[in-house]
């Protein structure tokens, strides 16, 4: 296996893309990059700076200050997990909150935000040896990626996974609210004008509605190793 491969894993929210990408990267000795975490960090920044009020985004101020946003990933040596840092602060937990999930799709629709995050993703992945998960990795960020996987699952299955994750974190968010957020994000992510979520023509689709995490990892590893 070449060491400088680029593996793009795109798909809908809550399909387990990040979890599977983490394991696949570990199996291959590669670095995992969670591109969604970058859009989430930009959203958190917009909240911190009061560029989001009553669900309204002050797009001009956010664009003007995009270059004040420093996003990094650092490995926690104890847990071996990558954490997202926003301007020097570990925001890994904060960026997963429902408040962020509700605003991240409209924030990631802004072309300047996309350009900013895509440039960062291309820089982080330029040497290869990466597994990057997101929505447009195989179409826009790395159109020449060595492997492109597109992960799908039914909205109900995905909402149930997210609901259980929230429950494990002690957060009691009603199932219908979680399903509504999944459907809304699917719609915005796949209908935005600029770099929408879509399967690249040469991507291999994996529907994991009836698979658990390990089965999905096995399927993707099989695809990678069979080439």
Q: State the residues that interact with ligand DC by CB under 6 A.
A: 13, 35-36, 39-40, 104-105, 108, 134-137, 185, 189
Q: Which of 8, 29, 2, 26 is nearest to 206 (CA)?
A: 8
Q: Least distance to ligand DC from the beta carbon of 32, Å?
A: 12
CB half-sphere exposure, 123, CA atoms < 13 A:
9
Q: Least distance to ligand DC from the beta carbon of 137, Å?
A: 6
Q: Least distance to ligand DC from the beta carbon of 4, Å?
A: 21
Q: Which is nearer to ligand DC, 162 or 219 (CB)?
A: 162
Q: Which is nearer to ligand DC, 22 or 40 (CB)?
A: 40
Q: Which is nearer to ligand DC, 14 or 217 (CB)?
A: 14
Q: Which is nearer to ligand DC, 2 or 132 (CB)?
A: 132
Q: Least distance to ligand DC from the beta carbon of 225, Å?
A: 25
**Checking DSSP bridges between strand 204-207 and strand 81-86, what pairing results, if any?**
unpaired
Q: Which is nearer to ligand DC, 100 or 217 (CB)?
A: 100
In terms of Cβ atoms closer than 10 Å to its own Cβ (0-12, 13-18, 19+), residue 214 is exposed
Residue 11 Ramachandran class (φ > 0 left, ψ -120 to 50 alpha, else beta): left
DSSP notation for 67-94: GG--EEEEEETTTTEEEEEETTEE-TTG
Tokens of 38: 């970058």
Q: Which is nearer to ligand DC, 29 or 165 (CB)?
A: 165
Specify which residues 133 forms β-bridges with. 9, 34
Neighbours of 74 (CB within 10 A): 12
Q: Least distance to ligand DC from the beta carbon of 194, Å?
A: 10
Q: Least distance to ligand DC from the beta carbon of 140, Å?
A: 8
């Amino acid at each position: 296996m070449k060491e400088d491969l680029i593996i793009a894993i795109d798909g809908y929210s809550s399909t387990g893309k990040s979890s599977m990408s983490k394991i696949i990267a570990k199996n291959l000795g590669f670095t995992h990059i969670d591109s969604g975490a970058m859009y989430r960090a930009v959203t958190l920044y917009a909240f911190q700076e009061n560029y989001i009020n009553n669900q309204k985004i002050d797009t001009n101020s956010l664009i003007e200050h995009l270059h004040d946003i420093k996003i990094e990933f650092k490995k926690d040596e104890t847990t071996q997990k990558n954490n997202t840092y926003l301007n020097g602060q570990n925001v890994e937990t904060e960026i997963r909150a429902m408040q962020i999930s509700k605003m991240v799709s409209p924030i990631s629709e802004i072309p300047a935000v996309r350009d900013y995050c895509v440039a960062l993703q291309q820089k982080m992945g330029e040497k290869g040896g990466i597994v990057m998960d997101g929505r447009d990795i195989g179409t826009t960020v790395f159109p020449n990626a060595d492997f492109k996987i597109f992960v799908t699952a039914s909205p109900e299955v995905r909402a149930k996974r997210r609901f259980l994750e929230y429950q494990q974190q002690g957060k009691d968010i009603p199932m219908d609210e979680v399903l509504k957020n999944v459907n809304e994000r699917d719609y915005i992510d796949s209908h935005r004008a600029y770099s929408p979520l879509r399967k690249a023509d040469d991507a291999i689709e994996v529907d994991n509605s009836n698979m658990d995490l390990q089965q999905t990892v096995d399927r993707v590893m099989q695809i990678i190793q069979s080439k």
